[in-house]
Amino acid sequence: MKQAVRKAVFPVGGMGTRFLPATKSMPKEMLPVVDKPLIQYAVEEAQAAGIEEFIFVTGRGKTAIEDHFDHSVELQDLLATRGRTDQVDAIRAWMPPAGQVAYTRQQEPLGLGHAVWCARHLVGDEPFAVLLADDLILADTPCLKQMMDAYATSGGNMVAVMDVPREHTKRYGVLAVGRDDGRLAEVKGLVEKPEPAAAPSTLSVIGRYILQPAVFGHLDRQERGAGDEIQLTDALARMIGTAPFHGLRFEGERFDCGDKVGFLHANMAFALAREDLRGPVASFLRQLNRRL
Ligand code: G1P
């Protein structure tokens, strides 16, 4: 039996400079795709995968995230007096239960590895998931659930992966692949943001991880990597050979919501996937198409 994955870490300390001015006083994770903040998609994906404890690694200016995952008495009273009990129930349904959400602050922006390391005492000695809210995935079965199902057999460490154009390897953690059945690829090596010519493959890490707590021992070393940051990828690379390590080619469409074009694509795709919006949005897109 593999030890159950009950906890998820959400690194949300980033400054979001690519989305200024929208992110000047609002966390980038609160940017909505259609009508839901990016961070809520990530939390709901974790809930759908059976996660029970939600750990946010925040930073300065991120209190809107804490408020979002808290009851708003005024709002709930207002909705109730208007007879919108459906909306009150909907909010209750996605709210993490009391005592199952925790916040810690990454006091300095030292990289993703450092952000995850800041959660070490909250995670403790058990496997855990990491979800990067910038990577939004439209899928029938949520991506982390697909990973949990694969993890139930493989155990060890697992990352979500997809092939990217070779000229984009500089944006990702990239795998050197061992045994590969077309769905699960054994991770033989891992490099953070390699130049296209130096990349061991084009199979790249998308922001979903299932990790063993031993990763914290490697992150303890606080070694700087690409971009002079403490990289999660480098700590994972050190774990190769110590436990099974796989990349899962998930089913679904991934949108890079850390990028303006990716964010716009996500809004269109998620709107088209919604029954109540599909008609009007599709007809507007057809109109636009005639103008192009
Ligand atoms: C991070 C990771 C990288 C991964 C990427 C996925 O990079 O460091 O390995 O491929 O997320 O989105 P970032 O996008 O934070 O630069």
Q: What is the CATH number of the domain that holds 31?
A: 3.90.550.10
What is the percent of the chain where pLDDT is above 70? 100
Q: Looking at the structure, tell me whether residues 41 and 106 fall in a common domain.
A: yes
* Segment among 1-10, 230-239, 265-274 with least mean pLDDT: 1-10
**Predicted local confidence at residue 92, as pLDDT:** 83
Query: Is 79 among the domain residues?
Result: yes
How far is it, in rounded angstroms, from Cα 86 to Cα 154? Answer: 41
**Distance from Cα 63 to the centre of ligand 1, integer Å:** 24
Both 189 and 54 in one domain: the answer is: yes
Q: Are residues 204 and 285 in the same domain?
A: no
How big is the CA angle at 133 (ends 128 and 136), to the nearest 5 degrees?
110
8-state DSSP, 243: B
Three-state SS at 170: helix
**172 Cα to the center of ligand 1, angstroms:** 5
CB 17 within 8 A of CB 25: no
Residues 202-256 pLDDT 10s? 999 999 999 999 999 999 999 899 999 999 999 999 999 999 999 999 999 999 9
CB 80 within 8 A of CB 34: no
Is the same domain home to 147 and 38? yes
Task: Tell me if 143 is assigned to some domain.
Answer: yes
Each residue's pLDDT tens digit, 277-290: 999 999 999 999 99
Nearest-CA residue for ligand 1 atom 10 is 172
- Phi/psi for 193 (5° steps) reads 50, 55
Which has the minimum average pLDDT: 52-56, 83-87, 109-113, 193-197?
Answer: 83-87
- 137 and 11, same structural domain? yes
The residue with greater pLDDT, 248 or 94, is 248
| For residues 181-203, average pLDDT | 96
- Does residue 274 share a domain with residue 139? no
Both 46 and 85 in one domain: the answer is yes
In the predicted structure, residue 150 carries a pLDDT above the cut 80: yes
Q: What is the pTM of this model?
A: 0.95
| 234 in contact with ligand 1, CB cutoff 6 A | no
Query: Is the pLDDT confidence value at 1 over 70?
Result: no
The predicted pLDDT at position 90 comes to 82
User: What's residue 171's pLDDT?
Assistant: 96
User: Best of 171, 187, 204, 250 to mutate for ligand 1, by most ligand atoms within 8 A of CB?
Assistant: 171
With respect to residue 1, please indicate whether it lies within any of the assigned structural domains: no
Let me know whether 224 and 264 are in one domain: no
> Looking at the structure, do residues 280 and 159 belong to the same domain, yes or no?
no
Q: Count up the domains in the chain and report the number.
A: 2
**Could you tell me if 218 and 267 lie in one domain?**
no
Q: With respect to residue 219, please indicate whether it lies within any of the assigned structural domains.
A: yes
Name the residue range of residue 38's domain: 7-258
Query: Residues 71, 13: one domain?
Result: yes
Q: 2 lies in a domain?
A: no
Same domain for 221 and 196: yes
Dist CA 288 CA 75 (whole Å): 37
User: If residue 174 lies in a helix (H) or strand (E), which one and from where to where?
Assistant: strand 173-180
Q: How far is CA 236 from the centre of its chain?
A: 17
